[in-house]
Amino acid sequence: MRITRRRTLLAMTTLTAATGLGATTPPAAPKGPGFEHGVASGDPLTDRVILWTRLSGVDAPSDVQWQVAHDDAFTQIVAQGHFGTDTGRDYTVKVDVAGLTPATDYVYRFRYGQVVSPTGRTRTLALQTDKVVLAAVSCSLHSNGYFNAYRAIADLDHIDAVVHLGDYIYEYGAGLTDYGMGNGRLLGRIPEPPHEIVTLSDYRTRHAQYKRDEDLQAAHARAPWICVFDDHEICNNPWKDGAENHTPPSKDGPGEGEWSVRKAVALKAYREWMPIRDPAPGKLSEAIYRSFRFGNLAELIMIETRLLARSKQLDFSDLKMVDGRPDFDAFRTQLNDPQRELFGAEQRIWLNTTLQTSVRDGVRWQVLGNQVIMAKIAGPDLIKRFGPETVASLMASLPDSARSQLQTMIGLFSRPDPFPLNLDAWDGYPAERERFYAMTKAAGARTIVLSGDSHTAWANELHDAAGNQVAVELGVTAITSPTRWLELPGLDLAQTLADQNEEVVAADDTNNGFVLVTLTPDEMIGEWKSVDTITSRQFRCTTQQRFVVKASEGGATRFV
């Protein structure tokens, strides 16, 4: 049985497929040159920032002017220049503007002849500051709903940067049962192209569709973004040498091509279409790990755990049978194998050095931009939750396929040593997690982990294998992706996981939104920001819960 946030126990869900409602026509081609994909900035440093746009409506090499100014009227221009673009980079424009002043707000725009882009706002990092505000986001499935959470970020009074933790796009197609297409047909948000994306042209087209969204454009134009990819920018659940949602060539046919080719074209499109600094010469495109220092207040450390070194995920279908019974001990030995890794040696060395240097330089907070959930989270013990009589009654009412999956869940999770819910998360790599915990303890870091991927809001307190408090984790729910992993009558999965797992302080899988993080020298405040709908453009954004960490001496962080 495969347990993932997308396919979890589909036989037991209450989802129904929508019929072909709300069909849409492709967007009209722009009349002449324009900037229909908006503008964006990213990867800010104290003296520079990346500016991005795309020139549409041209079919030959073109020269685009860029301008940076202090004022909206662009009477106080502080930097300007030209950038040549062509079909080799899909007519995207990306400029690393240097020579800027620390802790300064700027406006920027692009020109092509008489055509002027929208104006964007950006900000350089400070040399010294006593407050940093970050919006952490993840998982924006275009077909499943309107990007109201992005609009709410665009409307914030103050924000220093948006931290995107991955799944900026999704690779799925527009088939009747494809992920998100129940809402997609009702709302007319049909993926472009309408099939699963595999080629360079496919990935570029999907990025272009996302960047045409007015709410996403507004969030990009509001503040600089600091991004890392997760899995769906390529395809579901990849590891170093393949992916769950990729079919390699075999004796049965060509499949979806060589994994290395698909990964390369997906990353090329990502680098073209995102406001992210390109890798240094000699560095792999996968090597997206880097850090950003906000004075002596915070260091944002973005890591990569998908493509560079990740060992293949284990799956509960890998359980071997011995004398007709699953060999749980052998599976657990596999799971704890110290050779299983996420970082790779080079990134581990870099991360350790970054943590040590940050603490040595007196930086108050070390904030980890992390793709997948780090906390230890065992799957739900349904017998403990409902009692054996209720579970037996439920078993009797289910069809055979669902009954089999429920029995598997009980075997895995209703035991004295329950298995993790999600083997694609850090729970599938416990030895690597302990190596990271050893780093943060040795450095004496005050570590705040920001995590995406799970479509659930989390507040977790992280402990090493010996039970020592190491860090706290704020998990980000989804911008629009479905938030429920499992539907069973009477089961609040998130609350059950919080009740049954020591590290989970709180969890919620009912709302879409983002996490707003405010850092000061004395405390970190994390707020779950929730939108009340993704199926209407009329929405309210509220603070669902609020979590505080005090900057105590000694490194380890905990909620108060």
Residue 53 tokens, joined: 């746009």
Mean pLDDT of the chain: 93
Which of the listed residues 108, 124, 140 is the one where a domain comes to its end? 124
One domain for residues 157 and 171? yes
Residue 227 in any domain: the answer is yes
| CATH code for the domain in which residue 285 is found | 3.60.21.70
Structural domain of 410: 380-418
Assess whether 224 and 255 both reside in one domain. yes
Q: Are 531 and 148 in contact (CB under 8 A)?
A: yes
Q: Are residue 300 and residue 230 in the same domain, yes or no? A: yes
The per-residue pLDDT for range 40-79, each reduced to its tens digit, is 999 999 999 999 999 999 999 999 999 999 999 999 999 9
Mean pLDDT of all residues in 188-198: 98
* Total number of domains constituting the chain: 3
Q: Stretch 71-97: mean pLDDT, rounded?
A: 98
- Residue 29 has what pLDDT? 52
pLDDT of residue 558: 85
Q: Summarize pLDDT for 429-458 with one digit per residue, the tens.
A: 999 999 999 999 999 999 999 999 999 999
For residues 274 and 330, state if they share a domain.
yes
What is the distance between the alpha carbons of residues 275 and 271, in angstroms, rounded to a whole number? 8
Residues 26 and 83 in one domain: no
In degrees, rounded to 5, the angle at the alpha carbon of residue 293 between the alpha carbons of residues 290 and 299 is 80
Q: Is the pLDDT of residue 7 over 80?
A: no
How high is the pLDDT of residue 31?
73
Flag whether 556 is in a domain. Answer: no
What is the spatial distance between Cα 551 and Cα 202, in angstroms, rounded to a whole number? Answer: 46
- Where is the domain boundary, 124, 142, 175? 124
Q: Note whether residue 170 is domain-resident.
A: yes
d(CA 48, CA 69): 13
- Check whether residue 77 and residue 151 sit in a common domain: no
- Residue 66 sits in a domain whose CATH number is 2.60.40.380
Residue 3 forms part of a structural domain: no
Q: What mean pLDDT is predicted for residues 317-341? A: 93
In this prediction, residue 318 carries a pLDDT of 85
- Flag whether 136 is in a domain: yes
Q: Could you read off the pLDDT of 502-518 as tens digits, one per residue?
A: 999 999 999 999 999 99
Q: pLDDT tens for residues 103-147?
A: 999 999 999 999 999 999 999 999 999 999 999 999 999 999 999
- Cα–Cα distances in angstroms (integers) from residue 545 to residues 278, 505, 555, in the given order: 37, 12, 25
Does residue 480 lie in a domain region?
yes
Q: Which of 371, 401, 418 finishes a domain?
A: 418
Residue 215 resides in a domain: yes
Same domain, 82 and 148: no
- Asked whether residue 46 is domain-assigned, the answer is yes
Same-domain status, 260 and 389:
no
Q: Do 384 and 515 belong together in one domain?
A: no
Residues 86, 224 within the same domain: no
Same domain assignment for residues 393 and 309: no
The residue behind tokens 């590290």 is 503
Considering the chain, what percentage of its residues have pLDDT values greater than 90? 85
Helices within 376-429 (DSSP H only): 382-386, 388-397, 400-413
Q: Which of 64-73, 270-279, 485-494, 510-519 comes out lowest in average pLDDT? A: 485-494
487 and 371 in a common domain: yes
